[in-house]
Amino acid sequence: MEKKRVEEQEGVPVALPKVDRFGFVKQETSATDGPTKSRSALEHEREERRIRKWRKMIGVGGSDWKHYVRRKPHVVKRRIRKGIPDCLRGLVWQLISGSRDLLLMNPGVYEQLVIYETSASELDIIRDISRTFPSHIFFQQRHGPGQRSLYNVLKAYSVYDRDVGYVQGMGFVAGLLLLYMSEEDAFWLLVALLKGAVHAPMEGLYLVGLPLVQQYLFQLDHLVKEYLPKLGEHFAQEMINPSMYASQWFITVFSYSFPFHLALRIWDVFLFEGVKIVFKVGLALLKYCHDDLVKLPFEKLIHALRNFPNDAMNPDMLLPMAYSIKVSKRLEELKEEYEKENGKLSDRIRQKLQPS
């Protein structure tokens, strides 16, 4: 029997909300926590063995990581795709993103940004903070430790990179990271992602005009037409384009509206393999729901694309399906195509603006 947690408030006992294993307040029909069946002793032992394997692979404080990745990259990739143990996730994310190296090379920089600098985005950040993971216990208290940490990380980044500054979707990325690491660690992981410590820089997701989002949506549009032609045709007939349903997939890397247990598994792979996993998961979702989606008219289609059914959100079903979709080469080709088209468009605009 689960004990009821009680807290005193002005002398009156108040029951605290029940939370799932990730810290989200439980909803009656929530899928946030994944399968709810109790874990058997056998499952517990399997998880312990998995953690021991990971600890051996990482070494003390990450000391063996780079050596292991060089020697056995396929083992690392396979284990990451199966999911990083939750208790090691924060450390492993820092190792695979390159953020740990950035932190060590920049002592005192984060503190300087938080304490001594001012940002033009401070009011925007304050306005948005309560909208970031509002059902998570860490971020619920107004001006509480979670909201303060989130403010500090976002403010520090907006000073560190004034070209990007602050854009609303960044809060969900920073918030996700803060659930697994300290403020300073979360800040440097944000820097690693946006500046491209390991993979291509992602700051274009948040620059004025969201240029990288536009490129990704162009690529996704073509991939849907090529991999799922019947659905692509139906989207065209109903005048549905990816900006109507997929922008948040890229801007928050699925952390905004997807069940948290699935978002974490996607982030494990995203940090190691790069943004192609976002395309793969998106295509896998559309493929899984294909037969229902092709029957729906515009309004219902938009709703369905923003509210996928729970059975489609099972990581053990969805992710293997995503891994089987090969997109790397095609993404490169579509990127070149997009840049060419964009270049021609820019030329035409410049010509029109030139005095005759």
256-301 pLDDT per residue, tens: 889 999 999 999 999 999 999 999 999 999 999 999 999 999 999 9
Query: Which one-letter amino acid corresponds to residue 38?
Result: S
Strand partners, 8: 13
Query: Which one-letter amino acid corresponds to residue 347?
Result: D
List where CATH 1.10.8.270 sits in the chain.
106-198
Strand partners, 12: 9
- What is this structure's pTM? 0.89
Band (pLDDT 50/70/90 cuts) for residue 36 is very low
What does the block give as tokens for 66? 């780079």
Q: Domain 211-342: which CATH class?
A: mainly alpha
**Alpha-carbon gap, residue 197 to 199, rounded angstroms:** 6
What pLDDT does residue 38 have? 56
The secondary structure of 43-83 as a DSSP string is HHHHHHHHHHHHHHHH-GGGTTHHHHHHH-HHHHHHHHHH-
88 CB contacts (<8 Å, ≥6 apart)?
A: 51, 54, 55, 58
Instruction: Specify the DSSP class assigned to residue 106.
Output: S
* Alpha carbon 159 to chain centroid, angstroms: 22
**Alpha-carbon gap, residue 122 to 32, rounded angstroms:** 31
User: pLDDT tens for residues 117-176?
Assistant: 899 999 999 999 999 999 999 998 898 999 999 999 999 999 999 999 999 899 999 999
The mean per-residue pLDDT over the stretch 40-54 comes to: 89
Count of C-beta atoms within a 10 Å radius of residue 138: 19
Rounded to 10 deg, the angle between the 109-116 and 183-195 helix axes is: 100
**Alpha-carbon gap, residue 75 to 138, rounded angstroms:** 34
Instruction: Tell me which of 77-86, 105-114, 214-223, 342-351 is least confident.
Output: 342-351
The answer to whether the beta carbons of residues 241 and 221 sit under 8 Å apart is: yes
What pLDDT does residue 9 have? 47
What pLDDT does residue 1 have? 36
The answer to whether the beta carbons of residues 259 and 21 sit under 8 Å apart is: no
Q: Is 196 left (phi over 0), alpha (psi -120 to 50) or beta?
A: left
Q: Which residue has the higher pLDDT, 14 or 138?
A: 138
Query: Which one-letter amino acid corresponds to residue 120?
Result: A
| Residue 17, burial from CB neighbour count under 10 angstroms (0-12, 13-18, 19+) | exposed
Helix boundaries (H) for 161-273: 170-178, 183-195, 211-227, 229-237, 247-251, 260-273
Band (pLDDT 50/70/90 cuts) for residue 11 is low
User: pLDDT tens for residues 208-220?
Assistant: 999 999 999 999 9
> Hey, CA dihedral for 119, 120, 123, 126, is it positive or negative?
negative
Report which secondary-structure segment, H or E, holds 329.
Answer: helix 328-353
CATH number of 106-198: 1.10.8.270
What does the block give as tokens for 254? 């699925």
What pLDDT does residue 332 have? 96
What pLDDT does residue 78 have? 96
What pLDDT does residue 42 have? 86
Report which secondary-structure segment, H or E, holds 7.
Answer: strand 6-9
Strand partners, 115: none
* Percent helix / strand / coil, the chain, rounded to 5: 65, 5, 30
SS3 15: strand
15 CB contacts (<8 Å, ≥6 apart)?
A: 4, 5, 6
What pLDDT does residue 220 have? 97
List where CATH 1.10.472.80 sits in the chain.
211-342
**Alpha-carbon gap, residue 115 to 248, rounded angstroms:** 31
Percent of the chain exceeding pLDDT 90 equals 78
Average pLDDT, the chain: 89
Does the pLDDT value for residue 5 go beyond 50? Answer: no
